[in-house]
Structure 1
Amino acid sequence: MTRRRLAVAVLTSALALSACGANDKPQTTADTAATRGGTLRILSDGQTVNFDPAKSSNLAITSLALVHRRLTAWHNKPGEQAKVVPDLADTGKTSDGGKTWTFTLQEGLKFSDGTPITSADVKWGIQRSFAPAFSGGLGYHKQLIEGGDTYRGPFEGAELKGIETPDERTIKFTLVRPYGDWPWVASTPAFAPVPKGKGAEADYAEHPVASGPYQLAEYQKGVKVRLTRNPNWDQVKDQVRAALPDEVVWQLGQDASVISQRLVADAGDDKTAFGSSFVSAAQLAQLANNASAKERVVTSKSGALAYLALNTEKAPLNNPKVREAFQYAVDKAAFQIASAGTPALAGDVATTLITEGIAGREKFDLYPAQPSGDPEKAKKLLAEAGFPGGLSGLDFVVSKSNNGAEKAQAIQAGLARAGIQTTIRTLDGDAYTEETSGSATAAFDLTLASWQPDFPSANANIQPLFQSTEIGGGGYNLSRYRNAEVDRLIGEAQATVDPAEAGKKWAALDRKILQDSPVVPLIYTRNSFLRGSKVANLFIADFPAYPNYLQVGLSK
Structure 2
Amino acid sequence: MRWTKVLTVGAAASLGFVAACGAPAANTGNNGASGGNDKVEGAAAALDPNAKGPAPEVPGAKKGGTLTVSYSTVPANFDPSDQFYQDTAVIFSLTHRALTTFTMRNGKMVLVPDLATDLGKSSEDGLTWTFTLKDGIKYEDGTPVKAQDIVFAAKRSFDPDLAANGPTYQREFFKGGADYQGPYKGDKNWNGVEAKDDKTVVFHLEKRFETLPYFVSFNQFTPIPEAKDKKADYQLHPLATGPYMFDKYTPGTELTLKRNPNWDPATDPARNDYPDAFHFKFGQDVLKTQTAILASNGDDATTLNWDSIDSSLVPQIEGEKKAQFEEGPSSCVIMVNMDATKIPMPVRKAIAKAWPFDSIHKAGGETSHSYSPASTIIPPQIPGHLDYVVDGMNGKGDGDAAAAKKMLADAGYGPDKPFELTYYYTNDDDIAQKVNQVRKQKLQDAGFKVTDIGVPGKERRKIVGKPNGKYNMLQSPRGWCFDWPSADSIIPPTIGSIALSQGGTTFGNFSDAKIDAEIKRIQQLSITDQGPEWGKMDKWLTENYLLAIPDYNDKGNSVFGTKVMNVHNNPNKGMPEITQIWINQ
Deviations 1:316-357 (A, max 9, x none): x435xx76676565453334323325x525521111102355
Q: CA, structure 1 residues 146+414, in 2 after alignment: closer, same or farther (shift >3 Å)?
A: same
In the TM superposition, what is the alpha-carbon distance from 1:225 to its structure 2 partner? 1.8
Alignment of 1:487-526 (within 5 A): 487-495=516-524, 498-516=526-544, 517-526=546-555
Q: Report sequence identity in percent.
A: 21
2:494 is paired with a residue of what secondary structure?
helix
State the alpha-carbon separation in 2 of the partners of residues 201 and 93 from structure 1.
32
Alignment of 1:147-226 (within 5 A): 147-148=176-177, 149-153=179-183, 158=188, 160-195=190-225, 197-200=227-230, 204-205=234-235, 208-216=238-246, 218-219=247-248, 221=250, 225-226=256-257
In the TM superposition, what is the alpha-carbon distance from 1:69 to its structure 2 partner? 0.7
User: Which of the numbers 37, 44, 63 marks the counterpart of 2:63?
Assistant: 37
- Determine if contact 2:331/2:481 at 8 Å carries over to the other structure: no
Deviations 1:113-139 (A, max 9, x none): 555433223223334555688545625
Letter in 2 for 1:453: C
State the alpha-carbon separation in 2 of the partners of residues 246 and 406 from structure 1.
37
Letter in 2 for 1:248: A
In the TM superposition, what is the alpha-carbon distance from 1:266 to its structure 2 partner? 1.4
Is 1:451 paired with 2:451? Answer: no
- Determine if contact 1:76/1:541 at 8 Å carries over to the other structure: yes
- Determine if contact 1:408/1:424 at 8 Å carries over to the other structure: no
Match for residue 368 of structure 2? 344
1:400 is paired with a residue of what secondary structure?
strand
Match for residue 20 of structure 1? none
Match for residue 258 of structure 2? 227
- Determine if contact 2:168/2:493 at 8 Å carries over to the other structure: no
- The gaps in structure 1 that reach 5 residues or longer are 12-22
- Determine if contact 2:465/2:476 at 8 Å carries over to the other structure: no
Deviations 1:370-395 (A, max 9, x none): 73278599689959x96799998232
Deviations 1:189-247 (A, max 9, x none): 1201234633348655565543223344x325356623215454234x43322x14151
516-525 or 112-121: bigger deviation = 112-121
Letter in 2 for 1:169: K
Match for residue 138 of structure 1? 166
Match for residue 355 of structure 1? 379
Match for residue 569 of structure 2? 540
State the alpha-carbon separation in 2 of the partners of residues 529 and 541 from structure 1.
11
Match for residue 357 of structure 2? 332
Q: CA, structure 1 residues 76+521, in 2 after alignment: closer, same or farther (shift >3 Å)?
A: farther
- Determine if contact 1:327/1:367 at 8 Å carries over to the other structure: no
State the alpha-carbon separation in 1 of the partners of residues 255 and 127 from structure 2.
44
Match for residue 113 of structure 2? 86
In the TM superposition, what is the alpha-carbon distance from 1:44 to its structure 2 partner? 3.7
Match for residue 267 of structure 1? 297
Deviations 1:521-555 (A, max 9, x none): 12224453321112122222333222222222234
Q: CA, structure 1 residues 191+325, in 2 after alignment: closer, same or farther (shift >3 Å)?
A: same
Alignment of 1:12-161 (within 5 A): 24-25=36-37, 35-44=61-70, 52-57=79-84, 59=86, 62-75=90-103, 84-89=111-116, 90-95=118-123, 98-112=126-140, 115-129=143-157, 134-135=162-163, 138-140=166-168, 143-144=171-172, 145-148=174-177, 149-153=179-183, 158=188, 160-161=190-191
- Determine if contact 1:76/1:543 at 8 Å carries over to the other structure: no
User: Which of the numbers 438, 454, 457 marks the counterpart of 1:428?
Assistant: 454
Letter in 2 for 1:534: K
User: Which of the numbers 7, 11, 17 marks the counterpart of 1:10?
Assistant: 7
Q: CA, structure 1 residues 252+73, in 2 after alignment: closer, same or farther (shift >3 Å)?
A: same
1:466 is paired with a residue of what secondary structure?
coil
Match for residue 285 of structure 1? 312
1:393 is paired with a residue of what secondary structure?
coil
Q: CA, structure 1 residues 363+411, in 2 after alignment: closer, same or farther (shift >3 Å)?
A: farther
State the alpha-carbon separation in 2 of the partners of residues 527 and 431 from structure 1.
23
2:418 is paired with a residue of what secondary structure?
strand
- Determine if contact 1:398/1:432 at 8 Å carries over to the other structure: no
User: Which of the numbers 410, 414, 423 marks the counterpart of 1:398?
Assistant: 423
State the alpha-carbon separation in 2 of the partners of residues 78 and 57 from structure 1.
26
State the alpha-carbon separation in 2 of the partners of residues 350 and 253 from structure 1.
29
In the TM superposition, what is the alpha-carbon distance from 1:49 to its structure 2 partner? 10
In the TM superposition, what is the alpha-carbon distance from 1:477 to its structure 2 partner? 3.4
User: Which of the numbers 235, 243, 247 marks the counterpart of 2:276?
Assistant: 247
Letter in 2 for 1:348: S
State the alpha-carbon separation in 1 of the partners of residues 391 and 551 from structure 2.
12
In the TM superposition, what is the alpha-carbon distance from 1:410 to its structure 2 partner? 5.2
State the alpha-carbon separation in 2 of the partners of residues 447 and 406 from structure 1.
19
- Determine if contact 1:354/1:510 at 8 Å carries over to the other structure: yes
State the alpha-carbon separation in 2 of the partners of residues 491 and 252 from structure 1.
42
In the TM superposition, what is the alpha-carbon distance from 1:359 to its structure 2 partner? 5.0
Letter in 1 for 2:528: A
State the alpha-carbon separation in 2 of the partners of residues 539 and 156 from structure 1.
43
State the alpha-carbon separation in 2 of the partners of residues 443 and 270 from structure 1.
39
Aligned residues: 522
- Determine if contact 2:122/2:128 at 8 Å carries over to the other structure: yes
2:183 is paired with a residue of what secondary structure?
coil
Is 1:477 paired with 2:506? Answer: yes
State the alpha-carbon separation in 1 of the partners of residues 337 and 150 from structure 2.
39
- Determine if contact 1:40/1:553 at 8 Å carries over to the other structure: no
- Determine if contact 1:332/1:523 at 8 Å carries over to the other structure: no
1:476 is paired with a residue of what secondary structure?
coil
- Determine if contact 1:535/1:554 at 8 Å carries over to the other structure: yes
- Determine if contact 2:423/2:471 at 8 Å carries over to the other structure: no
- Determine if contact 2:464/2:475 at 8 Å carries over to the other structure: no
1:183 is paired with a residue of what secondary structure?
helix
Match for residue 51 of structure 2? none
Q: CA, structure 1 residues 132+512, in 2 after alignment: closer, same or farther (shift >3 Å)?
A: closer
State the alpha-carbon separation in 1 of the partners of residues 517 and 187 from structure 2.
37
Match for residue 14 of structure 1? none
Q: CA, structure 1 residues 220+479, in 2 after alignment: closer, same or farther (shift >3 Å)?
A: closer
Q: CA, structure 1 residues 522+550, in 2 after alignment: closer, same or farther (shift >3 Å)?
A: same
Letter in 1 for 2:312: A
Q: CA, structure 1 residues 125+265, in 2 after alignment: closer, same or farther (shift >3 Å)?
A: same
2:153 is paired with a residue of what secondary structure?
helix
